[in-house]
Chains A and B, each alone.
Chain A
Amino acid sequence: MMRRSPRLTEAPEPMLHVLVLAEEGGGTRRIPLGPAPFRIGRVAGNDLVLPAPEVSRSHAVLTVMGDGASLADLGSTNGTWLEGERLGGSAALAPGARLAIGPFALQYQRGRQREMERAAELEREMERAFRYVQALLPPPIPEGRVRAEWSFLPSASIGGDAFGYRWLDADRFAVFVLDVAGHGAGSSLLAASVMNMLRAGVESDPAAALAGLNAAFQMEQQGGLFFTIWYGVADLAARRIDFAAAGHHAGYLLSPGAAPEALGIRNPPVGMVPGIAFRTGSAPLPPGARLLLFSDGAFETRAPDGRQLGLGDLLPHLPLAAPPAAGAAERLLQAARSLCRPGPFEDDVSILSLDFA
């Protein structure tokens, strides 16, 4: 129903300009921009100080002019990146433009007050949802028959990764990594629901576990969201790992003195096709084996020259994380980072490493 808006008689609200900085741990900081040039650099005296060695002392400057804004690189060593391209000189900023300076991700927003309040509220929702997921992540396991460690780098804008692991009984250990195809608070909340369901279950058959999720989370009932998942159950008495993947790339088993073995099997993602039977795989689990699981955010990146990277670019680096070296998840994260151009990852990156005695 259309009604004449009483706002028509009011003076138009002024245009607001905001720079949003993604912070460690999934939060965001909103910085209002005024009419004076806004300087960004590594050292004190800048309007925004970004403390990292990849940031130059005087790195870039943002200037608001009327209803628009422009960004200029001040001859920085490592560049100012706008929408994934290195900025040469200066450029006008579209609302929502994404910038990267060193390891920092920033977004430029502009709009009338009401729109900006709404944007801020969405960010707070996103942050709450993210904290909820983070609270559900399992702590590392430093000692025992199964040792586990992980690296998790959440993305400020996309999100949707989650993972978990736990003992099902005295000999069987279950682990999963999942990625919701969406972004925003909704994806994180779906990820949290799935984690809660898997935490409560005792399913030792991967096919049955995925069938249960598929029955509970059809995309039509989940706002069009679906997710990919890799789910495995290691049986330390039988020395075997059973697994199923739904739309998810393989996990990799690294045994002492052997080449990495892909534990992959093809099924549609969970939520896409009702009532399907998920195919499973199985592999021997030698003593000292290490299982590496990671989300696609680790390899769906772009090289410094702009080339799209894929799983095949990360796989040659897996031996870096081979047993018995410690810190496998962190090593693999560094390898992933070394392949792609400067700036933050575009998507969540989750990397898990599990050692089986």
Chain B
Amino acid sequence: MDFVLTELDSGTNRVSLTGRLDAAGAESIDRRFSAAVGSVARNALVDLTEVSFVASLGLRMFISTARVLQRRGAQMILFGAQPQVMDVFETIALDQMIPIVATEAEARARLAR
């Protein structure tokens, strides 16, 4: 499990994750992810295209970091989730806490709203 953070503009990062966000995967990146994404008041567009699985610890990582960003006046948006990952998001009604869209373009459009 790994991620790459790219600065898209002065207020927005893209964070691309790769791998399985199961218990072991979440544990291996949780601190680095929260530190890199949550320590700055910048929006985070999280690219899940290359993520094959998200377990509850992975959901927890997104939710807690999204909350930190919210307190800093920034926003997290998830995009590119694979169908199986989308099923998990659907079950826990994640969209009531974090916006979920299909593509990076939609994520950017969402920020502009």
A201 to B84: give the CA distance in the assembly, Å: 36
A127 at interface, CB cutoff 8 A: no
Contact A272 B24 (CB under 8 A): no
Residues of B in contact (CB 8 Å), total 22
Point out the residues of chain B lying under 8 angstroms from A300, CB to CB. Answer: 53, 55
Q: Which of B46-73 contact A (CB under 8 A)?
A: 52-53, 55-57, 59-60, 63-64
**Is A290 an interface residue when CB atoms closer than 8 A count as contact?**
no
- Given that A267-B93, A268-B97 are contacting pairs, would A310 and B87 also be in contact in the complex, using a CB cutoff of 8 Å? yes
CB distance A247 to B91 under 8 Å?
Answer: yes
| Residues of chain A lying within 8 A (CB to CB) of residue B60 | 181-182, 224-226
The contact of A181 among B22, B56, B90, by CB within 8 Å, is: B56
What are the residues of chain B within 8 A of A182 when measuring CB–CB?
A: 56-57, 60
Contacts of B94 in A (CB 8 A): 268
Complex CA distance for A247 and B96, rounded to whole angstroms = 11
- For B53, the chain A residues whose CB sits under 8 A away are 300, 308
Q: When the two chains form their complex, are residues B84 and A308 in contact, meaning their CB atoms are under 8 A apart?
A: yes
State in angstroms the CA–CA spacing of A98 and B28 once bound together.
14
Q: Is A311 an interface residue (CB 8 A)?
A: yes
B97 to chain A, nearest CB (A): 6
- Interface residues of A, count at CB 8 A: 29
Give the residues in chain A near B52, CB-CB below 8 Å: 308
| B50 CB to nearest chain A CB (Å) | 13
Residue pair B64, A249 in contact (C-beta under 8 Å): no
| 8 A Cβ contacts from A234-251 to B | 247-249
The answer on a CB contact under 8 Å between A181 and B93 is: no
Q: What's the Cα separation between A228 and B64 when bound, in Å?
A: 16
Q: Which of A179, A219, A268 makes the CB contact (< 8 A) with B56?
A: A179
B22 with A346: CB separation less than 8 A: yes
CA–CA, A226 and B87, complex, Å? 19
Q: Is A80 an interface residue (CB 8 A)?
A: no
B56 touches A228 (CB 8 A): yes
Question: How far, in angstroms, from A157 to B91 measured CA to CA in the complex?
Answer: 24
A273 touches B96 (CB 8 A): yes
B93 and A157 within 8 A (CB): no
A296 surroundings in chain B (CB, below 8 A): 56
In the docked arrangement, what's the CA distance between A347 and B55, Å?
Answer: 10
B92 at the interface (CB under 8 A from A): yes
| Nearest A-chain residue to B93, judged by Cβ | A268
Q: List which A263-288 residues lie within 8 A (CB) of chain B.
A: 266-269, 272-273
A344 to B91, CA, bound (A): 25
* Chain B residue, CB-CB nearest to A264: B91
Q: How far is the CA of A199 from the CA of B110 in the complex (A)?
A: 45
In the assembled complex, B23 has its CB within 8 A of some CB on chain A: yes
Distance between Cα atoms of A267 and B56 in the complex (Å): 15
> CB of A171 within 8 A of chain B?
no
Contacts A248-B91, A266-B91, A346-B22 given; indicate if A273 touches B97 (C-beta within 8 A).
Answer: yes
| A155 nearest CB neighbor, chain B only | B23
Distance in angstroms between the alpha carbons of A308 and B59 in the assembled complex: 17
Closest to A312 in B: B87
Residue of chain A at shortest CB distance from B27: A183
15 A-B residue pairs with CB within 8 Å = A158-B23, A179-B56, A183-B23, A219-B63, A228-B56, A249-B91, A268-B92, A268-B96, A268-B97, A269-B92, A272-B63, A296-B56, A308-B53, A310-B87, A346-B23
**Chain A interface (Cβ < 8 Å from any Cβ of B):** 83, 98, 157-158, 179, 181-183, 219, 224-226, 228, 247-249, 266-269, 272-273, 296, 300, 308, 310-311, 346-347
* Given A247-B91, A296-B56, 11 other A-B residues pairs in contact with their CB atoms under 8 A: A183-B23, A219-B63, A266-B93, A267-B93, A268-B96, A272-B97, A273-B96, A300-B53, A300-B55, A308-B20, A347-B55
Binding site for A on B (CB under 8 A): 20, 22-24, 52-53, 55-57, 59-60, 63-64, 84, 87, 90-94, 96-97
Q: Nearest 6 A-B pairs (CB), nearest first? A: A181-B56, A247-B92, A268-B93, A308-B53, A181-B60, A266-B93
